[in-house]
Amino acid sequence: MKHKRLYLVGGPGGVGKTTLAASLGIALAQQGHRTVVLTVDPAKRLAQALGFTGFDSELQKIDVGGGELWATMLDTDHYFDRVISKFATSPEQRDRVLAHPLYKTMVENLGGSHEYAAMERLLEFVKDPRYDKIVVDTPPSDNAAELFEAPQRMADFMDNSVLKWFQGGGKLYLQLFKAGTKVAMGALKLIFGAEFLDSLGSFLADLEGMQAGFQKRNLEVLETLRSDQTSFVMVSVPSEARAEDCARFREMLKEKNIPLDRLVLNRLEPLPPEAPMDLPAGAKRLWEYQKSLHTQQKAWADAMEGAAPCETRRLYEKHGPLHDVANLSELGRLLLN
Ligand SMILES: Nc1ncnc2c1ncn2[C@@H]1O[C@H](COP(=O)(O)OP(=O)(O)O)[C@@H](O)[C@H]1O
Ligand SMILES: [Mg+2]
């Protein structure tokens, strides 16, 4: 794991991905690597520890004592503007799309747009020779496949299944379309109004020609994820529900030929020290609860570790301060070793 260049930190929401991505970045930078970390929605205290003063999608240099660390936050809205600018075949096309009233709606409604933006930014860093190490925190995808399928979905989107997004997932309109364009257009006009459809039509025409760029991007992302320079780190917590998530995640990675490098079981409750005999009843119940939590978590951690096709790291719930460079760095080193 130490010798990889790109670290992708994935897993369900709330398990510690952003915290651990930052920790990994700090530890790598302190080892002397020029490191960049892309974070997604860092908790306020973590953002402060990293020196972010507000929302910041620009790269910002962070003082971690010795190493060189850069950090940035994922900005979905503006990021799309940049992507559109990149793939537009002319400045006029770019301006037309960006100014189109449907564009913003599209960015907000298109499923997987966060995932797409993360993957897109990742490629940018991978292509930048200034960085020795790249750590990418990922949006909390309950369905992990979304992360890897985002570029393909975007390519599909550009490739005419564009109407799906404004259907808001409703199957009705899709059926109308299948029933025949003429009938469908009539029905849609009734539902959305002629003006909207004309507007949609002009928007689709504006997007014309951008598809090739997206398709190429999709292939590049998959190639990058499968490269032996990439380490996929899955973060989870030991519990029954998360064990199922993990199993699904593993299957999906296998299907996509993306190797899993490390499973991190985070926030394990340590075994409480032996309780004194004269503990008050309330405190005793709390102690018993903590002990049973520890036992349950240990059983799930053992099961999840047994099923993992890779090395596992167990990290304990930190009850003291966590959001400072020293503590984060310690977590990062535990992950790497
Ligand atoms: N080992 C740990 N000990 C204590 N708190 C933790 C630990 N790891 C993460 N946390 C806390 O859990 C919460 C969720 O972490 P976060 O990194 O934002 O998760 P995610 O990015 O997966 O949604 C945060 O409040 C964070 O401080
Ligand atoms: Mg997060």
Start-end of H helices in 143-239: 145-158, 171-178, 181-192, 194-207, 211-226
How far does residue 263's CA lie from ligand 1's centre (Å)? 16
Q: Which strand (E) or helix (H) includes residue 262?
A: strand 262-268
Task: For residues 189-203, give the mean pLDDT.
Answer: 68
**Mean per-residue pLDDT for 58-85?**
81
What is the average pLDDT across 101-116?
Answer: 70
Q: What is the mean pLDDT of residues 290-295?
A: 93
- The whole-angstrom separation of Cα 182 and Cα 188 is 10
Using alpha carbons, select from 11, 8, 20 the residue that is nearest to residue 323.
Answer: 20
Lowest mean pLDDT among 113-122, 187-196, 229-238, 242-251: 187-196
Mean predicted confidence (pLDDT) in 157-183: 50
What's the confidence (pLDDT) of residue 179? Answer: 53
Please give the residue that has the higher pLDDT: either 187 or 135. Answer: 135
pLDDT at 158: 60
- Per-residue confidence (pLDDT) for residue 256, from 0 to 100: 83
Q: Which CATH architecture has domain 6-89+111-158+211-336?
A: 3-Layer(aba) Sandwich (3.40)
Is residue 76 over pLDDT 70? no
Whether the CB-CB separation of 207 and 236 falls below 8 Å is answered with: no
Between CA 145 and CA 200 the distance in angstroms is: 29
Ligand nearest to the CA of 73: 2
The alpha carbon of residue 176 and the mean position of all alpha carbons in its chain are separated, in whole angstroms, by 34
What gap in Å lies between CA 103 and CA 101, rounded to an integer? Answer: 5
What separation in Å is there between the alpha carbon of 230 and the centre of ligand 1?
24
Res. 262: pLDDT tops 50 = yes
Q: How many helices (H) and strands (E) does the chain have?
A: 14, 8
Kindly calculate the radius of gyration of the chain based on its CA atoms and give it in whole angstroms: 23
pLDDT of residue 20: 95
- When pLDDT is cut at 50, 70 and 90, the band that residue 235 belongs to is very high
End-to-end CA distance of the chain: 8
| Structural contact between residues 17 and 140, judged by C-beta atoms closer than 8 angstroms | yes
* Mean pLDDT, residues 115-119: 79
pLDDT of residue 214: 73
- Three-state DSSP at 211 gives helix
Beta strand pairing status for 133-137 and 68-73? unpaired
The closest residue, in CA terms, to atom 15 on ligand 1 is 16
β-strands 230-236, 262-268: how paired? parallel
* 108 contact partners, CB below 8 Å, separation of at least 6: none
Task: Report d(CA 97, CA 95) in Å as an integer.
Answer: 6
Instruction: Give the helix, strand, coil percentages of the chain, each rounded to 5.
Output: 55, 15, 30
Q: Which of 136-150, 184-198, 205-219, 250-264 has the highest mean pLDDT?
A: 250-264
Q: Are the CB atoms for 56 and 31 separated by under 8 Å?
A: no
Greater model confidence, 166 or 4: 4
Is the pLDDT assigned to residue 163 strictly greater than 60? no
The model's pLDDT over 211-231, given as tens digits with 9 standing for 90+, comes to 677 778 778 888 898 899 999
pLDDT at residue 287 tops 80: yes
Residue among 19, 327, 329 to mutate when testing ligand 1 (max atoms within 8 A of CB): 19
Indicate if ligand 1 lies below 6 Å from the C-beta of 15: yes
| 10 ligand 1 Cβ < 6 A | no
Using the structure block, give the residue that is written with the tokens 């409480």: 272
Report which of 222, 235, 232 is spatially closest to residue 266, judged by C-alpha positions.
235
Residue 322 alpha carbon to ligand 1 centre in Å: 9
Residue 37's pLDDT band (boundaries 50, 70, 90)?
A: very high
pLDDT single digits (tens) 299-313: 999 999 999 989 999
